[in-house]
């Protein structure tokens, strides 16, 4: 409870809980002590709580305790994510993005001239501060005219920041801007330089709260020049607690909250947006969906989930199927712009080439949401929200299964990778996650990799072409989706090779056919990627049209299926 951010979080939790008489919020304060926090959690369990909300002091230290609690009751983790995925829901800001937003603000201040930055960073233990610095450095690496000197303020307090800045002496002279990792330290820096020779320096903070000494107040008073908001997630935590305890479907795994750059120019409009209550919907919402196509079982399930949810939410949905053609998909978006859709949703076939048409949508004032695939762009205002899986983690999980189940006892393990559509974000990120874990152990190697375009036929062709050029010498097949794995299985059987035995196969998605293949011993591991994004997507569309702010990312919950659980989960596989 030492920082304003914590006080605001606590107030939001209590205010939101007070709206629901069926909720009793029992509150304990770890006072920055992980050992005490672990004892606090044990005490809360002793009270018989139904759901735990925790802001971990030290995410690594608290991971085992939280993982254990998660076996018995739902857990919502706030603002600092624990390792692994043993929790029900994580809600927090994107601290790397906050650092990137600060970096971009400084680049625009520098306008190409030599520019010196004093960065007031939080303590070494602060995950948030490290991420913000990564984001900042990621921007500055492309701007050699900007030089940074870093000063660590261990307790991230206003007074410590004031003392440190005041002690810098001539190190402060050529500094053009001070970037403090929270508004509290920004105020301290201001107090250190006000009235003196350094008073003209720009100051940027983070958090952007209202109220006395809040970032918004400091901008209004001209104390600081800019702040980047860092929402606490307290309200969302209570709202999702109710959904979780009432078994509402579609609760995501992660909700990453959005941050805004606030300056004098947009301060008033930002504050008005805070006070704006969601408005009732007057007309039916018209949504244009630029879909990939019908390439896989996963896509068919995703298509039906979206159509059903549109009906449930009374959304007028128009789907254009680009049939795996990026050019046709961009044309579909142009069609929706000309039809003046309220919202455009895209599952980008590939992650590049999107800026021009998304700028057209922005000029037309049509918000864009991304579903199940991302785009690669430096701009952060071309789409509102991404809803879908964590593909890098899916890739990691696939290779973790290989490491645990295919020991390199005889020789280095030889892996054949069947990639999805080249240039698609799930392809890029599943490969990256898989290779990140693979690199940990020199006894595994990808000896052949080519694309099956996420189709059954494509998977079959990859294996057939390998067999035409090589005697079979593969230990593991990693297929970026189930359909390509099923195609590979057909090709192996035609060649007299036993899938699942002579060669282990791991894939991604979780279709009924793939889970069944596990039971039949032809497939060994399927990493889940949930296709049923319809409800979350249509809720996001509806919230948007009601004037609510959308999160930056909504990441779906995903499991891993193997022989151990395939029989149990098969009945529940609905696609
Ligand atoms: O894994 C695959 C589909 O974009 C996550 O596309 C989706 C992927 C999915 O063709 O089956």
Residue 556 in contact with ligand 1 by CB distance below 6 A: no
Find out whether the beta carbon of 529 lies less than 6 Å from any atom of ligand 1: yes
Q: Write down the mean pLDDT value for the chain.
A: 95
- CA nearest neighbour of 290 among 252, 263, 330, 251: 330
Spatial distance between the Cα atoms of 466 and 485, rounded to a whole number of angstroms: 14
Q: Average pLDDT of 5-30?
A: 94
Burial classification of residue 190, based on how many CB atoms lie within 10 Å of its CB (0-12 exposed, 13-18 middle, 19 or more buried): buried
Q: What is the pLDDT of residue 251?
A: 87
453 lines ligand 1 (CB under 6 A): no
The predicted structure's pLDDT at residue 277? 83
Cα separation, 253 vs 479, in Å, equals 24
Mutate to test the pocket of ligand 1, among 322, 510, 529, 532 (most ligand atoms within 8 A of CB): 529
Q: Which atom of ligand 1 is nearest to the CA of 295?
A: 10
**How remote is the CA of residue 517 from the centroid of ligand 1, in Å?**
19
Cβ atoms within 10 Å of 283's Cβ, excluding its own? 8
Rounded Cα distance between 210 and 314, Å, is 37
Q: Is the pLDDT of residue 410 over 80?
A: no
The CA distance from 468 to 177, in Å, is 63
> What spacing in Å lies between the alpha carbon of 566 and ligand 1's midpoint?
21
Residues 188/161, Cβ–Cβ less than 8 Å:
yes
Distance CA 496, CA 487 (A): 15
List, in sequence order, the alpha helices (H) in 282-408: 297-312, 326-338, 355-363, 391-405
Site to substitute for ligand 1 among 303, 386, 426, 459, most atoms within 8 A of C-beta:
426
Q: Which atom of ligand 1 is found nearest the CA of 480? A: 1
Instruction: Please give the distance, rounded to the nearest whole angstrom, from the Cα atom of residue 304 to the centre of ligand 1.
Output: 14
296 C-alpha vs ligand 1 centroid, how far in Å? 7
Look at the chain and count its residues.
Answer: 575
Angle 160-163-169 from CA coordinates, rounded to 5° = 140
The whole-number pLDDT of residue 153 equals 95
Residue 15: pLDDT band by 50, 70, 90 thresholds?
very high
Q: Is 372 in the pocket of ligand 1 (CB under 6 A)?
A: yes
0.95 surpassed by pTM: no
Decide: 391 in ligand 1 pocket, CB within 6 A. Answer: no
- The pLDDT of residue 159 is 95
Domains annotated for the chain, with CATH where assigned, are: 4-94+233-266 (3.40.50.2300), 95-229 (3.40.50.2300), 283-388+532-556 (3.40.50.2300), 391-529 (3.40.50.2300)
Q: Is the CA virtual torsion 544, 549, 551, 556 positive or negative?
A: negative
Q: What letter would DSSP give residue 465?
A: H
Tell me the longest C-alpha to C-alpha distance in the chain: 83
Q: Check whether 554 has a pLDDT greater than 90.
A: yes
Atom of ligand 1 nearest to the CA of 483: 11
> Comparing C-alpha atoms, which of 482, 484, 425, 483 is closest to residue 449?
484
pLDDT tens, residue by residue, 179-209: 999 999 999 999 999 988 888 899 999 999 9
Ligand 1 within 6 A of 226 CB?
Answer: no
Nearest alpha carbon, ligand 1 atom 11? 298
Q: For residue range 414-439, what is the model confidence (pLDDT) as tens digits?
A: 999 999 999 999 999 999 999 999 99
Residue 263: burial class (beta carbons within 10 Å; 0-12, 13-18, 19+): middle
Distance 256 CA to ligand 1 centre (A): 22
Ligand 1 binding pocket includes 508 (Cβ within 6 Å) = yes
Averaging pLDDT over each range in 146-150, 279-283, 548-552, which range is the top one? Answer: 146-150
Query: Residue 196: what pLDDT?
Result: 83
Task: State the pLDDT confidence band at 532, using cuts at 50, 70 and 90.
Answer: very high
3-state secondary structure of 146: strand
Nearest CA to ligand 1 atom 7: 372
Decide: 220 and 267 in contact? Cβ < 8 Å: yes
By the 10 Å C-beta count (0-12 exposed, 13-18 middle, 19+ buried), 159 is classed as middle
Q: Give 550's contacts (C-beta < 8 A, 6+ positions apart).
A: 258, 369, 384, 385, 540, 543, 544
Q: How far is the CA of 349 from the centre of ligand 1 (A)?
A: 10
């Amino acid at each position: 409870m030492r920082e304003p951010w914590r006080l605001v979080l606590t107030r939001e939790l209590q205010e939101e809980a007070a709206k629901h008489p069926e909720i009793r919020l029992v509150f304990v304060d770890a006072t920055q002590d992980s050992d005490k926090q672990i004892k606090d959690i044990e005490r809360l369990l002793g009270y018989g709580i139904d759901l735990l909300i925790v802001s971990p002091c030290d995410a690594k230290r608290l991971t085992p305790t939280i993982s254990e609690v998660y076996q018995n009751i739902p857990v919502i983790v706030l603002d600092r994510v624990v390792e692994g995925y043993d929790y029900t829901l994580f809600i927090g800001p994107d601290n790397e993005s906050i650092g990137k937003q600060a970096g971009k603000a400084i680049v625009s201040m520098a306008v190409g001239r030599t520019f010196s930055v004093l960065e007031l960073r939080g303590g070494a233990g602060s995950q948030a501060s490290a991420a913000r610095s990564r984001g900042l450095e990621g921007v500055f690496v492309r701007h050699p005219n900007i030089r940074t000197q870093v000063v660590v303020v261990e307790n991230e307090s206003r007074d410590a920041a004031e003392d440190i800045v005041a002690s810098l002496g001539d190190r402060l002279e050529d500094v053009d801007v001070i970037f403090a990792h929270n508004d509290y330290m920004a105020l301290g820096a201001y107090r250190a330089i006000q009235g003196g020779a350094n008073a003209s320096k720009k100051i940027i903070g983070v958090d952007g709260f209202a109220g006395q000494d809040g970032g918004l107040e400091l901008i209004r008073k001209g104390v600081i020049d800019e702040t980047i908001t860092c929402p606490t997630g307290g309200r969302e935590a209570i709202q999702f607690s109710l959904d979780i305890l009432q078994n509402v479907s579609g609760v995501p795994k992660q909700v990453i909250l959005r941050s805004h750059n606030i300056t004098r120019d947009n301060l008033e409009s930002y504050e008005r947006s805070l006070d704006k209550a969601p408005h009732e919907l007057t007309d039916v919402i018209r949504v244009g969906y630029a879909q990939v196509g019908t390439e896989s079982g996963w896509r068919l399930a995703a298509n039906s989930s979206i159509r059903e949810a549109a009906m449930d939410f009374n959304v007028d949905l128009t789907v254009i199927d680009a049939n795996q053609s990026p050019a046709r998909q961009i044309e579909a978006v142009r069609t929706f712009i000309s039809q003046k859709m309220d919202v455009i949703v895209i599952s980008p076939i590939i992650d590049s080439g999107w800026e021009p048409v998304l700028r057209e949508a922005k000029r037309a004032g049509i918000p864009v949401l991304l579903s199940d695939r991302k785009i690669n762009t430096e701009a952060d205002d071309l789409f509102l929200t991404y809803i879908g899986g964590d593909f890098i983690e899916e890739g990691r999980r696939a290779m973790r299964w290989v490491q645990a189940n295919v020991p390199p006892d005889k020789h280095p393990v030889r892996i054949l990778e069947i990639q999805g559509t080249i240039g698609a974000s799930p392809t890029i990120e599943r490969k990256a996650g898989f290779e990140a874990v693979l690199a940990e152990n020199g006894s595994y190697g990808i000896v052949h990799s080519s694309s099956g375009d996420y189709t059954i036929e494509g998977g079959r062709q990859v294996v057939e072409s390998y067999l035409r050029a090589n005697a079979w010498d593969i230990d593991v097949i990693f297929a970026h989706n189930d359909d390509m794995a099923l195609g590979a299985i057909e090709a192996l059987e035609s060649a007299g090779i036993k899938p699942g035995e002579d060669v282990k196969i791991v894939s991604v998605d979780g279709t009924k056919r793939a889970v069944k293949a596990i039971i039949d011993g032809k497939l060994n591991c399927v990493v889940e990627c949930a296709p049923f994004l319809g409800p979350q997507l249509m809720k996001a569309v509806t919230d948007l049209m009601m004037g609510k702010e959308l999160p930056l990312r909504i990441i779906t919950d995903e499991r891993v299926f193997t022989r151990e659980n395939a029989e149990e989960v098969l009945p529940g596989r609905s696609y």
